[in-house]
Structure 1
């Protein structure tokens, strides 16, 4: 009885110790790198450079700023069927199961066993009969590991942080897929718009060539005028296959993004020629909001927490592992004998395991965990700075492209006016047909450059929304 009392008292003491001891560093969220957390929230530099950007907060469903029901439907299809999202969802499901496993390990563990067999036994020199006998056994056990130094709690916290990092990865996948859907849709319609411009220019140039060829036949124009006019028409027609291919490839991407075969893109988009645009400035927010919103930053921060918890898990190996348990069972050569008192056996008491004094392996693993935590911190800092750089770059590029687009608009307007004047002067004999041809060539170049610029601006807007991380914030 004294021995039993001592065993129970020892177990109670260990239980009390486990309630107040946790080894390893406690996680503290890191400050923003480069002293950003000490600076007041400021607008992005490009916001003050153009009226097409504003510091207003970015909306949750930013793609609805286009007011395009077709685009809204495509986004919904992608969210429901995209293969990358399905993979990310499965990874998140696995992370949740790992967390559940860690939590379950903290509770009471039970097991039941039963066995029936035939075997040869020895009399062990005790005079008992030896030979082949039937053997039957039943047993059960119950155990509970005391979290003496917080290893279990650290494991649960690490698994939870990894799960939250996977959730952020899933949010990042959704944002990326939505941006790619909007981008593919924009690229298809932009290619269609450029194709229309090229076809219109080819039509006008074909009419001009017909007039020039009549003039050559009538002896009004030299033959070189018709040759140059035909060369300009060929130059314009050479761009048509490129735009047709660009639209088709964008439609293939769009179909796959929505979980379909490449050729199963929406039929109505095969003739799309209107570039998606906004009727208001882009709401860019500020850098502080960006850090809170971007899921890759949230993912890096949660990965840092998981790495920090690993230090405590590995440090726990320096200390004893203690479990309280009990087991009971019965063994007999007959089924009837399983219920006899002589067949019963039981045990009760703590189980202690400790690698002391051989701690070199444990300390090496602690050093590995500490190095991993340092790497995770560096990755977090780099992710924050990269996110800010991507946003600033995308906004600045958009501001500069807007200036270029405005200049190209003016160029196109001037080229159209110059062609009208050349037409008038040519009819009155004040200008040659070659000068008219040069004016036509200038207008074609201006039209094509403006179409390319319009497509570039459409792509810039998608890049901005992706860089700003709009879509699913942490609260969702």
Structure 2
């Protein structure tokens, strides 16, 4: 028999086994275990709560589509530039990308389980029987011999019950979940950068206000000292003026420390060393104002824009597929194994046709008793699937609350701003009147001091409100899943 006829015979046997396997696949039907379907929640994001859409004269919430680069609404070129750098430099994003690569590699491993395995190997051994052993007593030769073997091994496990399909389905869902996880990191990090940047601008504005009030306090001190020297004022007025100046000066180091800390926080977000961004950020820029119109999209888009919702659904999909894998372990497993090669006692005989050997045939594995291990594993996967379903519902409900709270807070900050502007203007007018009366000698210094403090408090509150208003918009777009398409 020639080597060609040997290969032909092996292929014929293999073809019969493949036909047998296909027949089993047709009889087995579809994959075992439940199929994933879109979760059915009692939590329906159908419309925003009317309580959260509090319109005001200075704010209009509209249902137009959300821009992926929502931070451009602030019209701050430096913020826009930093957001562009963030995507390339942030280490958390790079770490999330590595997790995607890990999930993709796991998917590749599970997909390879469906492919036939082919390996080649060879062995050499020298052995001899004991002259006093049982084989020698039966007449077997006891002299030492060499034994050579070279051949191919092939194996292919049939996916009769869809186990491999379910494993691939689970791995693919995990890959999708890791991709949405990376998107979620991007949404959170881009919002964090905008929040830190706006806080920095707020602190810088407060620092500037404090310096202006320090200059006013210095001017007032000069005035009170002059009045005391001329016998018009009192030592009490001078001492009080000095104390006020010292109190204002004491605020500056703390504000400078907060400013430096925020600049370092931005540097860390961009993967830079401390103080790397100081030259770009030290110049005080006025806080941006809120836009007249705030686009929030349509409510039905929320579940498709929030990466955490999509990630949670993908994890539920993976958990559902794992049930199918656990159920498939209860059924028989059939694999086709084959060998083809040569072996001989002498090395030169390996090339001889008479040294050939081959084998091909199915291997059947049927689990009978494993101490309820398979049952417990199935129960565990079903519990995990139920937990994933609960987490999905919890994520959707949390998203709904976050959006509602962010809308309400944004509207409240805008309304508060209107009243704070009125309070600041009135306190400033009162301070001007008190200072003029003090210079004319018709009012004491206590009125000036009180009016000055009221102006400082009003300015600080107004600056905090402006900062919180911009931060509320950042929180709103984070809640809406802004920052990606």
Same fold (TM over 0.5): yes
User: What is the distance in 2 between the residues matched to 1:45 and 1:166?
Assistant: 36
| 1:108 corresponding residue in structure 2 | 116
User: What is the distance in 1 between the residues matched to 2:345 and 2:484?
Assistant: 65
1:14 is displaced (CA, Å) by: 3.7
Residue 452 in structure 1 maps to residue 464 in structure 2: yes
* 1:294-443 → structure 2 map (5 Å cutoff): 294-358=306-370, 360-443=372-455
Assess if the C-alpha contact under 8 Å between 1:113 and 1:140 holds in 2. Answer: yes
The answer to which of 295-304 and 436-445 deviates more is: 436-445
User: What is the distance in 1 between the residues matched to 2:257 and 2:224?
Assistant: 32
| 2:22 corresponding residue in structure 1 | 15
| 2:155 corresponding residue in structure 1 | 143
1:9 is displaced (CA, Å) by: 5.9
The answer to which of 456-465 and 128-137 deviates more is: 128-137
SS of 2:156's equivalent in the other structure is strand
* 1:94-133 → structure 2 map (5 Å cutoff): 94-120=102-128, 124-125=135-136, 127-133=139-145
SS of 1:352's equivalent in the other structure is strand
Of 86, 91, 112, 1:83 maps to: 91
CA deviations on 1:400-439 (whole Å, 9 max, x unpaired) are: 2222222211111000111122233334443222212221
The answer to which of 451-460 and 151-160 deviates more is: 451-460
1:199 is displaced (CA, Å) by: 0.5
1:359 is displaced (CA, Å) by: 6.9
Structure 2 unaligned residues grouped into runs of 5+: 1-10
1:44 is displaced (CA, Å) by: 6.4
User: What is the distance in 2 between the residues matched to 1:5 and 1:402?
Assistant: 81
Of 22, 29, 34, 1:25 maps to: 34
SS of 2:282's equivalent in the other structure is helix
Assess if the C-alpha contact under 8 Å between 1:43 and 1:285 holds in 2. Answer: no
Residue 240 in structure 1 maps to residue 252 in structure 2: yes
Assess if the C-alpha contact under 8 Å between 1:43 and 1:286 holds in 2. Answer: no
SS of 1:219's equivalent in the other structure is coil
Assess if the C-alpha contact under 8 Å between 2:13 and 2:360 holds in 1. Answer: no
Assess if the C-alpha contact under 8 Å between 1:251 and 1:265 holds in 2. Answer: yes
Query: For the aligned residues, what is the CA RMSD?
Result: 2.3
Residue 41 in structure 1 maps to residue 32 in structure 2: no
Q: 1:73 to 1:129 in 2, by over 3 A?
A: farther
| 1:188 corresponding residue in structure 2 | 200
1:104 is displaced (CA, Å) by: 1.6
User: What is the distance in 1 between the residues matched to 2:20 and 2:371?
Assistant: 25
CA deviations on 1:267-292 (whole Å, 9 max, x unpaired) are: 12022342234444322224322221
| 1:67 corresponding residue in structure 2 | 75
User: What is the distance in 2 between the residues matched to 1:325 and 1:14?
Assistant: 13
Q: 1:25 to 1:217 in 2, by over 3 A?
A: same
1:171 is displaced (CA, Å) by: 0.6
The answer to which of 7-16 and 337-346 deviates more is: 7-16
User: What is the distance in 1 between the residues matched to 2:149 and 2:235?
Assistant: 109
User: What is the distance in 2 between the residues matched to 1:132 and 1:246?
Assistant: 85
SS of 2:53's equivalent in the other structure is helix
1:260 is displaced (CA, Å) by: 1.0
Q: 1:118 to 1:218 in 2, by over 3 A?
A: farther
Residue 174 in structure 1 maps to residue 183 in structure 2: no
1:86 is displaced (CA, Å) by: 1.1
1:52 is displaced (CA, Å) by: 4.4
Q: 1:128 to 1:465 in 2, by over 3 A?
A: same
User: What is the distance in 2 between the residues matched to 1:120 and 1:270?
Assistant: 86
1:209 is displaced (CA, Å) by: 1.2
1:162 is displaced (CA, Å) by: 0.4
TM-score norm. by structure 2 comes to: 0.90
Assess if the C-alpha contact under 8 Å between 1:44 and 1:286 holds in 2. Answer: no
Assess if the C-alpha contact under 8 Å between 2:48 and 2:404 holds in 1. Answer: no
The answer to which of 295-304 and 349-358 deviates more is: 349-358
The answer to which of 119-128 and 247-256 deviates more is: 119-128
| 2:271 corresponding residue in structure 1 | 259
Q: 1:233 to 1:132 in 2, by over 3 A?
A: farther
Structure 1 unaligned residues grouped into runs of 5+: none
User: What is the distance in 2 between the residues matched to 1:113 and 1:308?
Assistant: 40
Q: 1:260 to 1:425 in 2, by over 3 A?
A: same
